[in-house]
A and B are shown apart, each in its own frame.
Chain A
Amino acid sequence: MKKRYLFPVLLIFLPMLAFGLFSIFDTDAVYSDREKRELTPLPELTAASYADASFMKRFEDYYADTFPLRGGLLAAARRVRSLILLTGLVGGEDVVVLPSARTVAVVPEGGGEAEASEAQELSGILYYGNRLMEIFCESDANLTAYASVLNRLAKAAGRPLYVMLPTPAYTLYAPEGQRAAGTDFAASLDKLKGLLDGPVLLDLDTAMRKAAADDEAIYFRTDHHWTARGAYLAADALARADGLTLPTLGSYASGSRSGFLGSLYNSAAAQSVSSKFDRAPDTVTYYFPQYGYTLDSYASIALDDAERRSLVEPDFAGDSNLYNIFCGGDMPIAHIRSEVGNGRSVFVIRDSYGHALLPFLSDLYEDVYAVDPRYYTADYTLKIGAFCDAHGIDSILVVNYSPMAVGGYWIEFAPYLENLLP
């Protein structure tokens, strides 16, 4: 071998070898702050995991997740892409569809196991107008399943049941041409209204469209949740429907925390567009309830394991998800005792959209029971009728992320609601 070529060859391959060895013997990270997720652990090698190649796939994920200097490499990759794609030079009009890892599922006609949907092609996250939003695509089958379970819940509860379906950010902000045919939230609401027999679908759509048109911040730009301002619009709609009055938003004491990079940012963190949000993250504005209250969070339906919390925790530091300023994050069951003094009570069936809503509900109802059916387990035997009777509930509210209920993305929420039926 000619020596003049040997040295360059060694210079090329020795760093690969050295880095490879280092990657084996260094200490593996287990959590990524930037992505807000557990990193893939070293998979266990078994005959089965080898035969079906799942070991190799998991190992590739593990190796990529724990590669030395990965955080710096990700940031550098974004910078390079921004440079090439001129993303720093163009304004807020660029549109990027980012692939999403979400599972697309639709209940087949006649019920049964959810199956993959054609809507998969429409799944993903859209970047447009300096905002990330999850692409929404409604599904008739999921909508029908959702309506059916709501009807049965209302019947089982024997009380007024209100349904809140926030208009998705995609409907409000995506450019007309980007929205695929068949993605029409207003039509979904009309269909749902026609299918409901008993439950009352609150009109959030009008107020949310107006607020979006007026450029009010009702959704975060980097997160799939609504803001407190968006939740206020929903609470106001409920108050009107249930014969109550909510104080004006201007009368609330408020505060804010900046530096929030939400779930959609996490999904897009490897993409060049995410660098825009590094420079301009979201701000979480919160409003303190006007009446005194206590908030107890329970894991058990016996309500005997109370953990005292606050509806608004401005100094929340549990993790970097600042949406958890509201209520401190998830609670399987919560009970708010408010000093509003009107004797009214509400049972809220909700997902994380309820976090930002509960502070306003405490100004409407003396007793607010909130249950998150995603925490259903075999021991979690809460049934709606018995619970409402036991706690003297006046009204019921169902609120959740709309794509979970009527979108072609998940069918998680309707089965969760089924668990509350007798």
Chain B
Amino acid sequence: MVFSSLTFLYLFLPLCLICYFASPTITAKNVTLTVFSLIFYAWGEPLALLVMLFSAAVQYAAGRLLASRIPHTARRCVFLAALCISLGLLAVFKYAGLLVSTVDLLPFCRFPVPEIALPIGISFYTFQCLSYTIDVYRRQTEAQTSFLRFLLFVSLFPQLIAGPILRYTDVASQIEDRCHSAKKIFYGSIRFFCGLLKKCAIANYAGEAADALLNGSSCLGLWLGILLYTFQIYFDFSGYSDMAIGLGKIFGFDYCENFRYPYLSVSVTEFWRRWHISLGSFFRDYVYIPLGGKYHMQVRNILIVWALTGLWHGASWNFLLWGLYYAALLLLEKGFLLRLLEKLPRAVGWCWTMFTVLIGWTIFYFTDIGRCLGALKIMFGGGALTAAGVAAALKTNLLFLVLAALASTPFAAMWIGKGMARLRTSDGEASALELTLGTLYCLASLVLCTMLICGSSYNPFLYFRF
């Protein structure tokens, strides 16, 4: 199920909210939320639910064993076994096809390529499970004793299929006990509808327009197409994160931010501190630093982390190329460029960042490396400058591009936030005007998104299969 579907908005969510808030105790609330999360997941792929339950059960059992008094060697074996099972599932379901088809490129190798359906959100919940097991192994957190609570952590539907990637240490106490209030629900709703609007009103259209242009073969058409795709991927993914954070708030959880206006960055290094923050911090804490971080073989560590980041995004070699492309840029910045950019006007850094990000999304968009290189060649002058329809496409999308660019900055949110803050009561509560405007915003977004969802029969999230 996706959030931007009528089934979710008008059937699943109201029913879930009624059952959740009718549950009298935190345990009952947790049971309700777990049941609805499993229904949510099984709605899309019932059989994949078994994979998730298996993965959760293994990590839960590993956590209990790691917390028990067992010899150090046994503890180490349990930890490695848990890692192998978790990563093994990811490897089988996500990368088996890529590996076999790559091996088949070798002479005399003709293995049948396995056609395994990728369970939705496997990359997200696998990483959540891994963070838990590693933290328990490092004795940075207590093992969860209740499978129900652990299952809730793994399967929480707001972030189950597209993140943010939760750390167990961040939500452990909230699972045990959390605060529910109409205030949280109100602000959570505003955040949810903000994300829904990003997805339905901006990302979906940007995607349609980008696809049309990226099918063409002219320099300006491709640049315009990739610019639209740049907005699509940001609003799609950050919209989903907003919805997840908003829903989490409604159910009493406080999730970490996943995006901080990345297109304002003035260096690639800064971009990756603002983009998909939960993934970046996962790789930093569980791969980069354990490998030695900046103190031991930093170049190797960066290459490994970014190769893994690339492959995490998809089972295709272009994603590896995309990851290594960013590794090269980050090494360049660490070498000298960052110091140089700091001395230059911020606009130069911003231009550098956006240029490299656009090239990055080109590598990301074209999953076929041949097509990707062909597109890059045309974008840098190796083809026709423009084609019929490109100027018209720019004209048609001009207002949309301006609005999307504005929406990817914090200015509107800051302006509204400041205005509302002035109207707050002395005890910091929302004024009547803020409540009225917030309610109207949610209702207007609901109507607009319902209209747009009705008008679109195919509405998948980009990050579904990651």
1/0 contact trace for A29-66 toward B, CB 8 Å?
Answer: 00000000000000000000011010010011101100
Contact of A77 among B209, B400, B454, B457 (CB under 8 A): B454
On whether A122 and B46 interact (CB within 8 A), knowing A1-B181, A15-B446, A20-B14, the answer reads: no
Further contacts, 19 of them, CB under 8 A, given A23-B10, A93-B391 = A1-B180, A8-B439, A11-B439, A12-B443, A51-B47, A77-B452, A77-B455, A85-B399, A90-B392, A94-B392, A94-B395, A95-B389, A95-B392, A96-B212, A99-B458, A176-B387, A177-B389, A270-B456, A271-B455
Shortest 4 CB-CB contacts between residues of A and residues of B: A177-B387, A175-B388, A95-B389, A5-B182
Is A16 in the interface zone, CB < 8 Å from B? Answer: yes
On whether A2 and B183 interact (CB within 8 A), knowing A11-B439, A20-B14, A80-B448, the answer reads: yes
Contact of B443 among A11, A59, A77, A175 (CB under 8 A): A11
Chain B interface residues (CB < 8 Å from chain A):
1, 5-7, 9-11, 13-15, 17-18, 43-47, 180-183, 185-186, 189, 205, 208-209, 211-212, 215-218, 221, 384, 386-393, 395-400, 403, 429-430, 435-436, 438-439, 442-443, 446, 448, 450-458
A161–B43 CA distance with the chains assembled, in angstroms:
55
CB distance from B89 to the nearest CB of A (A): 20
**Contact present for B14 and A97 (CB under 8 Å):** no
B188 nearest CB neighbor, chain A only: A9
Q: Identify 29 residue pairs between A and B in the complex whose beta-carbon atoms are under 8 Å apart, listed by A's number.
A: A1-B182, A2-B181, A4-B435, A9-B185, A12-B443, A15-B443, A20-B11, A20-B14, A23-B6, A23-B10, A63-B7, A64-B5, A67-B6, A74-B451, A74-B455, A80-B451, A80-B452, A85-B205, A85-B400, A93-B389, A93-B391, A94-B392, A94-B396, A95-B388, A177-B216, A177-B221, A177-B384, A177-B387, A270-B456
**Contact present for A97 and B215 (CB under 8 Å):** yes
**Contact present for B396 and A9 (CB under 8 Å):** no
**B216 contact set on A, CB distance < 8 A:** 177-178
1/0 contact trace for A378-394 toward B, CB 8 Å?
Answer: 00000000000000000
**Contact present for B182 and A67 (CB under 8 Å):** no
Q: For A13, A128, A181, which residue has the most chain B Cβ atoms within 10 angstroms?
A: A13
A15–B443 CA distance with the chains assembled, in angstroms:
9
**Contact present for A78 and B183 (CB under 8 Å):** no
**B387 contact set on A, CB distance < 8 A:** 175-178
Within 8 A of B (CB), among A203-232: none
1/0 contact trace for A120-148 toward B, CB 8 Å?
Answer: 01100000100000000000000000000
**B9 contact set on A, CB distance < 8 A:** 16
Contact of A86 among B215, B398, B429 (CB under 8 A): B398
A67–B396 CA distance with the chains assembled, in angstroms:
31
1/0 contact trace for A11-29 toward B, CB 8 Å?
Answer: 1110111011001100000
Is A193 in the interface zone, CB < 8 Å from B? Answer: no
A356–B400 CA distance with the chains assembled, in angstroms:
42
**Contact present for B218 and A177 (CB under 8 Å):** yes
Interface bracket on A: 35 or more
**A99 contact set on B, CB distance < 8 A:** 208, 211, 458
A174 nearest CB neighbor, chain B only: B388
A2–B183 CA distance with the chains assembled, in angstroms:
7
A7–B186 CA distance with the chains assembled, in angstroms:
10
**Contact present for B183 and A86 (CB under 8 Å):** no
A175–B389 CA distance with the chains assembled, in angstroms:
7
**Contact present for A178 and B451 (CB under 8 Å):** no
A181 nearest CB neighbor, chain B only: B217
A177–B186 CA distance with the chains assembled, in angstroms:
50
**Contact present for A64 and B180 (CB under 8 Å):** no
A2–B400 CA distance with the chains assembled, in angstroms:
39
Q: For A1, A8, A50, A59, which residue has the most chain B Cβ atoms within 10 angstroms?
A: A8
CB distance from B348 to the nearest CB of A (A): 32
**Contact present for B454 and A73 (CB under 8 Å):** yes
A17–B19 CA distance with the chains assembled, in angstroms:
13
**B7 contact set on A, CB distance < 8 A:** 59-60, 63
**Contact present for A16 and B392 (CB under 8 Å):** no
A19–B7 CA distance with the chains assembled, in angstroms:
11
**Contact present for A63 and B6 (CB under 8 Å):** yes
**Contact present for B6 and A64 (CB under 8 Å):** yes
A87 nearest CB neighbor, chain B only: B396
Is A81 in the interface zone, CB < 8 Å from B? Answer: yes
Within 8 A of B (CB), among A284-336: none
On whether A64 and B454 interact (CB within 8 A), knowing A15-B443, A177-B216, A177-B218, the answer reads: yes
Within 8 A of B (CB), among A138-184: 175-178, 180-181
A417–B337 CA distance with the chains assembled, in angstroms:
67
Contact of B182 among A6, A20, A93 (CB under 8 A): A6
Is A253 in the interface zone, CB < 8 Å from B? Answer: no
On whether A86 and B399 interact (CB within 8 A), knowing A5-B435, A60-B5, the answer reads: yes
B213 nearest CB neighbor, chain A only: A97
Within 8 A of B (CB), among A80-127: 80-81, 84-87, 90, 93-97, 99, 121-122
